[in-house]
């Protein structure tokens, strides 16, 4: 093999209902990528337990959420036969590789992660070690498949950069050993040519919904953990709830601008225009061409109708699939078995590279 084989990997935490941000920023783009790529899509349940049990809800809630997120993947159009869908904890090699990466990543790198700072807040001393080391597990999720591309929302960009740093350091630290075992691919590292075992994974981020913002505050990202349900559209919301949330979305009192620059410094307007653009597969400029100069009293009902038309079929399919627990479990089991074969292939090599004896 002279180049890394293209492979797409991504995941979502089962920490609650998926929302429009998860859908537009991640899952919907996964669906598009599966046309021309081999893809692995994961419900990252081990990430879900990094905060206090009262935050993630305990075992029964975790199981319910894991099944519900799986149902959302399938309802959104992920093909679990052609590609791989599974829950992370089934494939032990993720945690095994994460330990190796705990020993590769530097404290200083993790200290810079803004998501840890946001989630730990002022009570940093009381945060779990898992929350701090979360990006190392995320790097392992990706690299245990030597995935080359990861479609995510913009909030994950920093973690993807860390994944590349970890891959780079592993490749450099073990370059001679990788070469000796014949497991490397010749790559350039600065001025040097080294034998790389892990690819430097590319983030796939972009489009008008790379960062969907809260409907109550256009400066905060839409999030599962926001205490206000009005701040987000859940994929399980019914038609009336979707319409009500869009009607109540915070806006300023100006009409929509007639050019795209007019959205600068208007975070709420910018967010709603971005959502409309993503749902219609256009860009913000296209939406402004159609709605520039219009009041929100015109734009919001149009957006509500559009959101209902796009999301209601997914919600109804999710309800149907969620009722069939045995089917969802069989998808995860089958996906886990297929994923484990690939992950073990990487881990056998990693154990040899690091120097762990194995049979
Ligand atoms: N607001 C968003 N806009 C665009 N993309 C988003 N994503 C999350 N929020 C937005 C993307 O969805 C994928 C899965 O996210 P996750 O559930 O694994 O983690 P998260 O980013 O921590 O999601 P939340 O909703 O913000 O959860 P909490 O509230 O628990 O922290 C990722 O690709 C992410 O970029």
DSSP 193-209: EEEESS--PEEE--STT
In this prediction, residue 187 has a pLDDT band, given cuts at 50, 70 and 90, of: confident
CA distance 67 to 12: 12
12 Cα–ligand 1 center, Å: 7
253 Cα–ligand 1 center, Å: 29
**205 touches ligand 1 (CB under 6 Å):** no
Structural class in CATH, domain 213-321: mainly alpha
For residue 206, pLDDT over 90 is answered with no
CA distance 244 to 255: 20
223 Cα–ligand 1 center, Å: 6
For residue 181, pLDDT over 70 is answered with yes
> Could you tell me the CA-to-CA distances from 90 to 39, 130, 145, 187, 358 in Å, in that order?
18, 18, 15, 33, 21
**322 touches ligand 1 (CB under 6 Å):** no
Q: Which residues pair with 195 in a beta bridge?
A: 186
Chain centroid, CA 228 distance in Å? 22
196 Cα–ligand 1 center, Å: 31
**225 touches ligand 1 (CB under 6 Å):** yes
**214 touches ligand 1 (CB under 6 Å):** no
> Could you tell me the CA-to-CA distances from 91 to 46, 58, 230, 338 in Å, in that order?
11, 21, 36, 10
**25 touches ligand 1 (CB under 6 Å):** yes
Tokens (6 digits) for 104: 């590769």
3-state SS assignment for residue 91: coil
| Residues forming CATH 1.10.240.10 domain(s) in the chain | 213-321
Nearest CA to ligand 1 atom 12: 22
| Residues forming CATH 3.40.50.620 domain(s) in the chain | 8-152+154-205+325-354
Chain centroid, CA 320 distance in Å? 24
Question: What's the alpha-carbon Rg for the chain, to the nearest Å?
Answer: 21
pLDDT at position 90 is 98
209 Cα–ligand 1 center, Å: 12
In this prediction, residue 351 has a pLDDT band, given cuts at 50, 70 and 90, of: very high
In this prediction, residue 121 has a pLDDT band, given cuts at 50, 70 and 90, of: confident
- Mutation to probe ligand 1, out of 116, 155, 205 (largest number of atoms < 8 A from CB): 155
CA distance 26 to 3: 26
**223 touches ligand 1 (CB under 6 Å):** yes
**39 touches ligand 1 (CB under 6 Å):** no
CA distance 127 to 50: 9
Atom of ligand 1 nearest to the CA of 16: 30
**155 touches ligand 1 (CB under 6 Å):** yes
CA distance 217 to 223: 11
For residue 182, pLDDT over 60 is answered with yes
Check if the beta carbon of residue 134 is closer than 8 Å to that of residue 120.
no
Q: Which CATH superfamily, name and number, covers 8-152+154-205+325-354?
A: HUPs (3.40.50.620)
30 Cα–ligand 1 center, Å: 14
CA atoms within 13 Å, Cβ hemisphere of 269: 26
Q: State which H helix or E strand residue 210 sits in.
A: none
Atom of ligand 1 nearest to the CA of 221: 1
Across the chain, what does the average pLDDT equal? 95
**For the chain, what is the total number of helices (H) and then of strands (E)?**
16, 7
For residue 127, pLDDT over 90 is answered with yes
123 or 158, greater pLDDT: 158
- Mutation to probe ligand 1, out of 18, 25, 41, 114 (largest number of atoms < 8 A from CB): 25
Give the residue carrying structure tokens 């919301």.
237
**Catalytic sites, residue numbers:** 119, 221, 224
**166 touches ligand 1 (CB under 6 Å):** no
- For the chain, percent helix, then strand, then coil, each to nearest 5? 55, 10, 35
CA distance 268 to 213: 8
pLDDT at position 188 is 80
pLDDT at position 184 is 94
């Amino acid at each position: 093999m002279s180049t890394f084989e293209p492979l797409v990997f991504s995941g979502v935490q089962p920490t609650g209902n998926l929302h429009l941000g998860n859908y537009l920023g991640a899952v919907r783009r996964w669906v598009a990528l599966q046309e021309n790529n081999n893809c692995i899509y994961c419900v990252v349940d081990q990430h879900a337990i990094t905060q206090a049990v009262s935050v993630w809800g305990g075992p029964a809630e975790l199981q319910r959420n894991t099944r519900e997120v799986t149902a959302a993947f399938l309802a959104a159009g992920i093909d679990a036969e052609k590609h791989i869908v599974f829950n992370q904890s089934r494939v032990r090699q993720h945690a095994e590789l994460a330990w190796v990466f705990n020993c590769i990543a530097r404290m200083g790198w993790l200290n810079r992660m803004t998501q840890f700072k946001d989630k730990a807040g002022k009570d940093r001393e009381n945060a779990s070690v898992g929350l701090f080391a979360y990006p190392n597990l995320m790097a392992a999720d990706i690299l245990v498949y030597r995935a080359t591309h990861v479609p995510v929302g913009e909030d994950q960009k920093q973690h993807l950069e860390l994944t590349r740093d970890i891959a780079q350091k592993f490749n450099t630290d073990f370059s001679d050993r990788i070469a000796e075992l014949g497991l490397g691919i010749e790559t350039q590292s600065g001025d040097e040519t080294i034998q790389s075992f892990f690819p430097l994974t590319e983030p796939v981020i972009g489009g008008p919904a790379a960062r969907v913002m809260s409907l109550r505050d256009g400066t905060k990202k839409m999030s599962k953990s926001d205490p206000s349900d009005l701040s987000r559209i859940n994929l399980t919301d019914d038609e009336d709830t979707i319409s009500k949330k869009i009607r109540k979305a915070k806006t300023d009192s100006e009409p929509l601008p007639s050019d795209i620059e007019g959205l600068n410094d208007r975070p709420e307007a910018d967010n709603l225009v971005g959502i409309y653009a993503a749902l219609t597969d256009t860009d913000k400029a296209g939406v402004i061409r159609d709605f520039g100069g219009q009041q929100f009293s015109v734009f919001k009902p149009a957006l509500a109708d559009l959101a209902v038309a796009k999301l209601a079929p997914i919600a109804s399919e999710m309800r149907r699939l969620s009722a069939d627990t045995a089917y969802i479990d069989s998808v995860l089991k089958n996906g886990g078995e297929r994923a484990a074969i690939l992950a073990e292939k990487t881990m056998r090599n990693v154990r040899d590279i690091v120097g762990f004896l194995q049979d």
